[in-house]
Structure 1
Amino acid sequence: MESVVTEANRTVVLAAGGTGGHLFPAEALARVLTERGWRVILATDTRGDQYAADFPAAERLALEAATFKLSNPIGMVRGWLRIRAGVKRARRAYVRLRPSVVVGFGGYPSLPALLAAKQARIPRLIHEQNAVLGRVNRYLSKRVDKVACAFPILRRAPGKLKPMVVGNPVRPEIRALYDQPYVLPGGVFTLLVTGGSQGAKLLSETVPAAVAMLPETLRLSLRVEQQTRMDSLDFARRTYTKAGVEAEVAPFFRNMAKRLSSAHLVIGRAGASTVSELAVAGRPSILVPLAIAADDHQTYNAELLAEASAAVILTEKKFTPQKLAEVLEGLLTTPHVLDKMAEGAHAAGRPDAAERLADLVEATARR
């Protein structure tokens, strides 16, 4: 089944793993393509439901795919059997949907969608959000027509691969922050703490403890908005209340653009979406790369902002209440440093990434 692009058949399948890091860039691209007259189909797994509530898709294609470790032969067999089943499901769906192009954003659920597209001879491309080419995208990179990436340097890529650097698409409400100046307050200073989908316990407990160590004059001028694990909610709230710090603590924030807009400093992991959104929003940050991240990709992600003097990187080993309190006090008492960090972040931002990726999608569909 070959696909031919016509005005009557502008259908694109966006395939992404069920995490915010995969789905947020896909959502940003979906909005641009929808505005250009494309019909968007989202292919993901059930994990993606919490991130895809506002995804502008005409239809959802459920493609479950198990992860597996190369050291576990039985798990590999089971994983590939599920992937094969997903390929068959995608092939059947493509006969009905007749997509002109299939775009993968990584994660195992994108694997059957792209393999089925290759079998059906449908144009296809992948986008790598991280500074290191992920395992699934590494496997697919030789089986697609185009490879796009977010960071200027893409590590673990095959030697002959020539990816196109487009940046990491961010949602329109985040993109709007690029034109908003960073202004330090005369009164309350807002500290935003994001969690990420993995390993948030460290941030949930270390940040409140560190804030409680700050001098009273700094604590009284501080407002904290923190994403926190459910099992750390009570600890965080008690700690902030005892320290006399105004704080809003919740497991998940949906209105991230509004919170970034009012934030003066952000503490978080260094996932691709987080780093890209901080750059576009022009916000100073303290980044704590997830130590168990595959190929240490979060450290390489964070380097984009660190090299722009826009972020302080603290490894998990160094991320103690004492060290964080020291860094926080240093930044809160040197507003000129925060201003410079904001300028560096803004300079590293790629606000037109979604449009550039959409251009590449359309070019690939017409090949």
Structure 2
Amino acid sequence: MVETPIRLLIAASGTGGHVFPAIALAEHLRDYQIEWLGVPNRLETQLVPKQYRLNTIGVEGFQQGFGISSLRVLGKLIGSILEVRKLLRQGNFQGVFTTGGYIAGPAVIAARSLGLPVILHEANALPGKVTRFLGPWCSAVAVGFEVASEHLPRVKTIYTSTPVRSQFLSEEIEASLDLPIPKDVPVIVVFGGSQGAVAINKLVRQSANAWFDAGAWVVHLTGDNDPEAETLKHPQYISLPFYDNMAALLRRANLAITRSGAGSLTEMAVCGTPAILIPYPFAAEDHQTYNAKVFTSVGAASLFKQSELTVQVLQSQVLKLLQHPEELRKMREAAKAIAVPDSAEKLAKLVREVVEM
């Protein structure tokens, strides 16, 4: 008699930081039948592989304060919980995995109301409000940074780090870099996470000529919301909205200038990429600064507030690092030291233990 595969619903939506770790986990649960829960018009509609059926619901997050809009959001939340309950029952799912965010609300509540186990993964050093509120309801909460456990006193947490996609773990991936960069030049990669970062883009364009004079090449991933993305032209400057082969680019880079989203930081740690971190100043509860401090505390990165960072400071900081390759080597080793390359396996093991118990 053939055993029926375990059916798991993955609720991961919004940014690459939520979606990519869930995809990495799914790659290690190939014997499971997996479906996805997302939101229309969000990144998951582009990123979730075709082998996973994508179900969407119209939930959204609560804004500050309480008013008419809050009642509308509450109504959507209740409707979404009912939709997910129906999906879980009709699909005979045996468990739910979520990476947090506002899609976790209906996913966790619907699953627990049906007696189904839920595993929640929190990637940030400062857990989000959803995780702090729903964590006690979950069967298990995995954390991406050990320090996150200090902010979840009522929750039993398991440190797994945050999974990265398999290509980030390949030592040979750098050979697949298809950008016209000479072999022996220093490379600076600039990116703002899956959402881009216009403020960083502007600083970099104003600073870059000094780096070109020092022999560096700059690969600048501007995102698709920067109206000035094409304004800088130079033989040592490559500007793209996005680049798919980030694993190869991060391994090739001598230095990254970026935000400090948990997913990007984890990828840089695995690749051993030294970084200058500029946390997104409007991130909920300033959680990107908490993430960045995990890296600065071990010497893997430098941290600058966007409000205090000038062209002169950024220019000189980068030049200083380029002129001291030994310092970059120490930063690279520090980043690798806090990486957990088998995070996806650890998280998959936890999912199996919870769902199959």
Give the alignment's TM-score, normalised by structure 1: 0.89
Does the CA contact (< 8 Å) of 1:18 and 1:47 recur in 2? no
Does the CA contact (< 8 Å) of 2:19 and 2:44 recur in 1? no
Cα drift, residue 230 of structure 1: 4.0
Match of 1:92 among 68, 71, 86: 86
2:201 is aligned with 1:192 = no
Distance 1:201 1:51, change over 3 A: farther
Distance 1:7 1:308, change over 3 A: farther
Cα drift, residue 119 of structure 1: 1.1
Cα drift, residue 155 of structure 1: 6.2
1:341 is aligned to 331
2:62 is aligned with 1:72 = no
Cα drift, residue 222 of structure 1: 1.8
Q: Which amino acid aligns with 1:303?
A: K
2:250 is aligned to 260
Q: Which amino acid aligns with 2:286?
A: D
Q: Distance in 2 between matches of 1:158 and 1:366?
A: 25
Q: Which amino acid aligns with 1:360?
A: L
1:325 is aligned to 315
Q: Which amino acid aligns with 1:255?
A: N
Q: Distance in 2 between matches of 1:230 and 1:77?
A: 33
Q: Which amino acid aligns with 2:210?
A: M
Taking only aligned residues, the RMSD between alpha carbons, in angstroms, comes to 2.3
1:355 is aligned to 345
Distance 1:330 1:276, change over 3 A: same
Which sits farther off after the overlay, 46-55 or 70-79? 46-55
Cα drift, residue 96 of structure 1: 2.2
Does the CA contact (< 8 Å) of 2:19 and 2:47 recur in 1? no
Does the CA contact (< 8 Å) of 1:178 and 1:346 recur in 2? no
Instruction: Indicate the SS of the match to 2:42.
Output: helix
2:265 is aligned to 275
Q: Which amino acid aligns with 1:18?
A: G
Cα drift, residue 341 of structure 1: 0.6
Does the CA contact (< 8 Å) of 1:30 and 1:56 recur in 2? no
2:231 is aligned to 238
Cα drift, residue 186 of structure 1: 7.0
1:30 is aligned to 26
Stretches of 4+ aligned residues off by more than 6 angstroms: none
Does the CA contact (< 8 Å) of 2:259 and 2:278 recur in 1? yes
**Per-residue Cα deviation, 1:28-71 (whole angstroms, up to 9, x for no partner):** 1011112xx11111111124346743536431111221112241
Which sits farther off after the overlay, 24-33 or 132-141? 132-141
Q: Which amino acid aligns with 1:264?
A: N
Instruction: Indicate the SS of the match to 1:249.
Output: strand
Q: Which amino acid aligns with 2:353?
A: A
Q: Distance in 2 between matches of 1:178 and 1:112?
A: 41
Distance 1:98 1:178, change over 3 A: farther
Q: Distance in 2 between matches of 1:346 and 1:201?
A: 29
**Per-residue Cα deviation, 1:284-323 (whole angstroms, up to 9, x for no partner):** 1111011111121111111121112111111112222111
Q: Distance in 2 between matches of 1:146 and 1:132?
A: 17
Distance 1:264 1:74, change over 3 A: same
Q: Distance in 2 between matches of 1:339 and 1:309?
A: 11
Does the CA contact (< 8 Å) of 1:19 and 1:51 recur in 2? no
Q: Which amino acid aligns with 2:315?
A: A
1:210 is aligned to 207
2:220 is aligned with 1:226 = yes
Q: Distance in 1 between matches of 2:116 and 2:77?
A: 19
Q: Distance in 2 between matches of 1:215 and 1:29?
A: 40
Q: Which amino acid aligns with 1:24?
A: F
Does the CA contact (< 8 Å) of 1:129 and 1:149 recur in 2? yes
Unaligned runs of 5+ in 1: 1-5
Distance 1:215 1:43, change over 3 A: closer
Q: Which amino acid aligns with 2:231?
A: R
Q: Distance in 1 between matches of 2:283 and 2:150?
A: 14
Q: Distance in 2 between matches of 1:361 and 1:74?
A: 39
2:10 is aligned to 14
2:305 is aligned to 315
